[in-house]
């Protein structure tokens, strides 16, 4: 078995400098493998080895040509490592020269992770047209907002043209209805030339159902483990070597050939691997080699439902070496603090108390007993820097996994929306916005798919219904298969010029600007964070400091005015932002300056930020 070459994609169809197609297919389950040229209506045999790798170098296949693999002279399937599926998951693969793109981003240098301000978006619903080309037209808007990195939900080819993206069945292939591989390369190139980083969401814990033909080729799955979405990918069972290689190659391709700056790795807790070197660690090791070879920096970010620092600790300290992780617990604590029901996984969190804990310790559960899980949960993350944690008030999961997909804007008041935004952007962690939240988008973001298999479609409907039983919600979820469900989830861009959306957008811009301009906020030193709270008042006072600069953030989550007194060194405090000010459609202006002790009556559902020094 050949070693992985970080400089070049080896699996699937690739073109060498002479223009010849180099074909590599892993199919240990078959006795004979051929490539069938659709345009020429003929096939050509591949040569196999003892590892089940079938190869061929040929001049017959050209970029743009359609092809299938023919197994044992009988059945034809698309390429598991296909780069293009112009006719969808059931159609022929299309040869694509991934290196034949005229990149113009030579001057681009990835931001340090500490400077990332993420904006999560779904390509199909971010614009009416739902393409990469249309995203390009909105980049100046995102830059003006203050975003430094867009995070794109998965784009691996899925069935139909409507899907969240987590049902992808061709991990190397970019969804044809979005614009395909070239469309994504163009988007990344444009982002870099405008000064934006690009993070891509990838799924390495399962493969979607429709169009999934992996098992016909090789031992991609194992019965040793199970995931909520089907068979577990084989990372440690017999024949796992090429499966590991497949996903390592996939990671390297996004970074090397698409110039992606970071990968958000979906639900890594569902990746089952008891190998001496975990697959995530091996991926990280190869990425580090690529970084040394190219001089371009790339990040690996985990979505992780485990409060386990092993995933983000350095390899030399026994960790897997991932750069950062999402903290869902911050979100849960924030939602409960805003007065939303403590049902399902929210039942473990206490208003204000849990949020204060997350500000200070990142994880809410770091060894204490979780009643929802019925066990002690988590470890302490005291030594992990703030840039290793990503926080948010909403994301695709926690909006879309509501039965009706309601956004925060229709669940809480205008004042509370401003408070939630502030709570995220003054945290000692990396902030992420979910598309549309910055102007209070009112359309839902609902779960949608476009499977062509009727039985599968019905199974998805039943699965959604069962999912909401834990939340004790009555009624029926919107039909995931309905095109109306998809259309209802698209952003309404005309809202940004209307009130109160216009004011909300200005408020977000101001918040982001303040975070960038004040060292006490953008330098993520967790050691200089102090948090106090009063549970019965629903108040949190968060203090952050860098050298002589000191900021005090007062958050009133209650529906009543609350008196706060903060004993501090005698100084003059300057107001940076108060969500209750008339400028932000609040009810009253708070003082521009305060001398000596901070003593204020905080308006209901308000966010107030003062600083003692401008650097």
286 marked among binding-site residues: no
pLDDT value of residue 6: 87
Cβ atoms of 575 and 586 within 8 Å: the answer is no
Over range 349-361, report the average pLDDT.
97
Model confidence pLDDT, tens digit, residues 377-390: 999 999 999 999 99
- Which has the closest alpha carbon to 125: 88, 143, 152? 152
Cβ atoms of 70 and 94 within 8 Å: the answer is no
pLDDT value of residue 173: 98
- Which has the closest alpha carbon to 605: 590, 591, 586? 586
Beta bridge partners of 170: 157
Model confidence pLDDT, tens digit, residues 373-429: 999 999 999 999 999 999 999 999 989 888 899 999 999 999 999 999 999 999 999
Query: pLDDT band for position 472 (50/70/90)?
Result: very low
400 marked among binding-site residues: yes
Whether pLDDT at 120 is above 80: yes
At 173, give phi and psi (nearest 5°): -105, 135
Alpha-carbon gap, residue 255 to 266, rounded angstroms? 17
Pair of tokens at residue 67: 């092809």
399 marked among binding-site residues: yes
Count other C-beta atoms under 10 Å from residue 519's C-beta: 17
Q: How many helices (H) and strands (E) does the chain have?
A: 15, 31
DSSP character at residue 178: G
Count other C-beta atoms under 10 Å from residue 308's C-beta: 20
- List residues with catalytic annotation: 266, 303
398 marked among binding-site residues: yes
Count other C-beta atoms under 10 Å from residue 587's C-beta: 12
Alpha-carbon gap, residue 265 to 354, rounded angstroms? 26
Order of strands across the sheet that contains 12-15: 12-15, 21-26, 53-58, 47-48
Give the DSSP H or E segment for 135.
helix 132-136
- Which has the closest alpha carbon to 399: 456, 457, 479, 340? 340
204 marked among binding-site residues: no
Beta bridge partners of 326: 390
Model confidence pLDDT, tens digit, residues 232-279: 999 999 999 999 999 999 999 999 999 999 999 999 999 999 999 999
Percent of the chain with pLDDT over 90: 87
pLDDT value of residue 477: 80
Alpha-carbon gap, residue 551 to 473, rounded angstroms? 42
pLDDT value of residue 345: 85
Give the DSSP H or E segment for 121.
strand 118-121
Model confidence pLDDT, tens digit, residues 137-180: 999 999 999 999 999 999 999 999 999 999 999 999 999 999 99
pLDDT value of residue 401: 82
**Cis bond before residue 500 (omega within 30° of 0):** yes
Query: pLDDT band for position 471 (50/70/90)?
Result: low
Model confidence pLDDT, tens digit, residues 317-335: 999 999 999 999 999 999 9
Cβ atoms of 323 and 251 within 8 Å: the answer is no
- Which has the closest alpha carbon to 322: 378, 272, 387, 382? 387
296 marked among binding-site residues: no
Alpha-carbon gap, residue 38 to 442, rounded angstroms? 47
pLDDT value of residue 344: 84
Alpha-carbon gap, residue 400 to 177, rounded angstroms? 22
Helix axes 328-337, 353-361, angle to 10 degrees: 150
Taking the model in full, what pTM does it have?
Answer: 0.96
In the chain the first and final C-alpha atoms are separated, in Å, by 57
Cβ atoms of 598 and 565 within 8 Å: the answer is yes
396 marked among binding-site residues: yes
Cβ atoms of 393 and 437 within 8 Å: the answer is yes
Whether pLDDT at 30 is above 90: yes
Contacts of range 187-193, beta carbons closer than 8 Å, 24 or more positions apart: 187/132, 187/133, 187/135, 187/136, 188/105, 188/258, 188/259, 188/260, 189/101, 189/103, 189/104, 189/105, 189/259, 190/136, 190/139, 191/139, 191/150, 192/105, 192/108, 192/259, 193/104, 193/105, 193/108
47 marked among binding-site residues: no
In order of their start, the domains of the chain are: 12-94 (2.60.40.10), 525-611 (2.60.40.1180)
Cβ atoms of 415 and 604 within 8 Å: the answer is yes
3 marked among binding-site residues: no
DSSP string, 36-53: EETTTTEEEEPEE-TTSE
Model confidence pLDDT, tens digit, residues 39-68: 999 999 999 998 999 999 999 999 999 999
């Amino acid at each position: 078995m050949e070693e992985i070459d970080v400089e070049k994609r080896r699996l699937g169809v690739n073109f060498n400098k002479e223009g010849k197609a180099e074909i590599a297919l892993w199919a240990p389950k078959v006795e004979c493998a051929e490539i069938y040229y659709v345009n020429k209506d003929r096939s050509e045999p591949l040569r196999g080895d003892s590892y089940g790798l079938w190869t061929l170098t040929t001049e017959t296949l050209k970029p743009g040509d359609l092809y299938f693999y023919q197994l044992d002279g009988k059945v034809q399937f698309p390429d598991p490592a296909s780069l293009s599926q112009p006719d969808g998951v059931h159609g022929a693969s299309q040869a694509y020269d991934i290196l034949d793109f005229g990149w113009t981003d030579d001057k681009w240098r990835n931001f340090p992770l500490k400077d990332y301000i993420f904006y999560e978006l779904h390509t199909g619903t971010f614009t009416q047209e739902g393409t990469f080309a249309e995203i390009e037209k909105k980049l100046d808007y995102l830059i003006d907002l203050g975003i430094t990195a867009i995070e794109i939900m998965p784009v691996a080819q899925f069935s139909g043209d409507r899907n969240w993206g987590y049902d992808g069945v061709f991990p190397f292939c970019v969804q044809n209805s979005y614009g395909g591989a070239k469309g994504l390369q163009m988007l990344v190139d444009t982002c870099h030339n405008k000064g934006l980083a690009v993070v891509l969401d990838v799924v390495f814990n399962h493969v979607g159902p429709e169009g999934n033909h992996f098992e016909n080729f090789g031992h991609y799955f194992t019965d040793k483990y199970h995931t909520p979405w089907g068979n577990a990918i084989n990372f440690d069972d017999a024949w796992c070597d090429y499966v590991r290689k497949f996903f390592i190659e996939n990671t390297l391709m996004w970074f090397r050939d698409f110039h992606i700056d970071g990968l958000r790795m979906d639900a890594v807790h569902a990746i089952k691997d008891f190998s001496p070197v975990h697959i995530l660690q091996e991926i990280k090791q190869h990425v580090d080699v690529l970084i040394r070879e190219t001089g371009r920096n790339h990040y690996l970010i985990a979505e992780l439902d485990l409060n386990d620092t092993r995933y983000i600790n350095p390899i030399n300290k026994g960790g897997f070496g991932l750069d950062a992780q999402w903290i869902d617990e911050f979100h849960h604590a924030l939602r409960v603090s805003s007065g939303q029901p403590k049902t399902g996984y929210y039942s473990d969190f206490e208003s204000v108390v849990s949020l204060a804990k997350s500000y200070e310790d990142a994880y809410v559960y770091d060894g204490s007993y979780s009643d929802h899980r019925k066990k002690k949960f988590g470890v302490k993350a005291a030594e992990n820097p703030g840039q290793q944690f990503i926080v948010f008030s909403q994301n695709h999961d926690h909006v879309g996994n509501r039965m009706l997909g309601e956004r925060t804007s229709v669940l809480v008041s205008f004042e509370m929306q401003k408070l939630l935004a502030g709570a995220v952007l003054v945290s000692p962690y990396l902030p992420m916005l979910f598309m549309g939240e910055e102007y209070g988008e009112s359309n839902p973001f609902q779960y949608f798919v476009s499977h062509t298999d009727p039985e599968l479609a019905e199974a998805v409907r039943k699965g959604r219904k069962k999912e909401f039983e834990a939340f004790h919600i009555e009624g029926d979820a919107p039909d995931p298969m309905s095109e109306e469900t998809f259309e209802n989830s698209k952003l309404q861009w005309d809202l940004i010029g209307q009130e109160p959306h216009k004011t909300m957008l200005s408020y977000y811009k101001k918040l982001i600007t303040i975070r960038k301009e004040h060292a006490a906020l953008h330098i993520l030193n967790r050691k200089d964070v102090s948090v106090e709270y009063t549970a019965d008042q629903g108040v949190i006072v968060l203090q952050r400091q860098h050298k002589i600069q000191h900021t005090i953030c007062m958050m009133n989550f209650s529906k009543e005015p609350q008196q706060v007194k903060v004993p501090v060194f005698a100084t003059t405090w300057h107001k940076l932002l108060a969500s209750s000010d008339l400028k932000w459609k609040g009810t009253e202006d708070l003082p521009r300056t305060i001398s000596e002790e901070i003593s204020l009556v905080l308006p209901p559902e308000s966010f107030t930020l003062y600083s003692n020094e401008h650097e």
